[in-house]
Amino acid sequence: MQYNFEKFNHVLKNWNITLTDIQLNQFAQYYEMLIEKNKVMNLTAITEFDEVIEKHFLDSISLGAVIDLTQPLKVLDLGTGAGFPGIPLKIVYPGLQITLADSLNKRILFLQEVIEALGLEGIEAVHGRAEEMARNVTFREHYDLCVSRAVANLSTLSEYCLPFVVTGGKFIPYKSGEITEEVENAKNAVSRLGGSISDIHKFSFGENDLHRSFVMIDKVKKTPKAYPRKAGTPSKQPLT
C-alpha cells in the first residue's frame, strides 16, 4: 500500500532531518505491523495513518530537535509499550544502540518481530520490570541516555529511570501539559537519585499543534543502591 509521507517529511525538514526511501518504507512497514497486531492485542488507541504519524512517529522523533542523536549513544527506552519512542528513533538515527524494555512479554515478542522485519541492528527488546532490571549489573548505570513516554509523575519516573543512567548521562522523559509544578515538586527526589534538572524544552509541532515538553535531567552522581525501591513502591509512594 502507498502512504503519503508529505506531512511527515515537512515536519522533519523543520528539524533538519531527511529520510531515505528505505527509512520511509520501514515506517510504513512498522505502521502496518502495529495495526495488524493491534487487532489481537491492545497496543494503541490511535490507528489512523496520519494520527499515528503525528502522535507516535513524529512525537517519538521530536527528541532529536532538542539534543544531538547522531552520536553512537547507548539508549534505554523504559516502558516502551508498542515501541515508542525507541523504534522511530532507531529508524531515524541508526547509529544509536537501543534497548527497548517493557514489563509485558507479549509486547516484547511483537517488538522482536518488528526489529527482525525492519532489518534493524543494534537494538534489542527486553522483558522486565524496571525495579528488577535496575538491580542487574547488565543494565544498571549502563546507558548514556534513558527516555520514557510512560505516564507517571516525574518523581516516580525518575526513580525508575535514573538508576540505569551512567554518571554524565541524561534521563529525558517525554512530558505534556503544564509541568512547572510537577518539575518543582520532583527536584528533591531527582537530587536524591543522583540527578539534576538542567533545562525544560517546550514546543509544539504538526497540524494539530501537539505540545511536548522534555525535562533534561543530568546524572551528576551515582544513584544510591536503595533505589529503585521494591516493585510498586515508587508509584504508590513517590519520593518527595
User: Which pLDDT tens digits describe the chain residue by residue (240 residues)?
Assistant: 789 999 999 999 999 999 999 999 999 999 999 999 999 998 888 889 999 999 999 999 999 999 999 999 999 999 999 999 999 999 999 999 999 999 999 999 999 999 999 999 999 999 999 999 999 999 999 999 999 998 889 999 999 999 999 999 999 999 987 899 999 999 999 999 999 999 999 888 877 777 889 999 999 999 999 999 998 899 999 998
List of domains in the chain? 6-236 (3.40.50.150)
pLDDT of residue 166: 98
Q: Are strands 165-175 and 143-148 parallel, antiparallel or unpaired?
A: parallel
Q: How far apart (Å, rounded) are the C-alpha atoms in residues 86 and 223?
A: 24
Question: Distance between CA atoms of 92 and 57, rounded to whole angstroms?
Answer: 10
pTM of the model: 0.95
List the grid coordinates of 95. Answer: 547509529
Interior angle at CA 124, CA 41 and CA 26, nearest 5:
70
- Rounded to 5 degrees, what are φ and ψ at 13? -60, -40
CB 49 within 8 A of CB 31: yes
Query: Which residues have a Cβ under 8 Å from the Cβ of 138 and sit 6 or more positions away?
Result: none
What does the block give as the cell for 42? 491492545
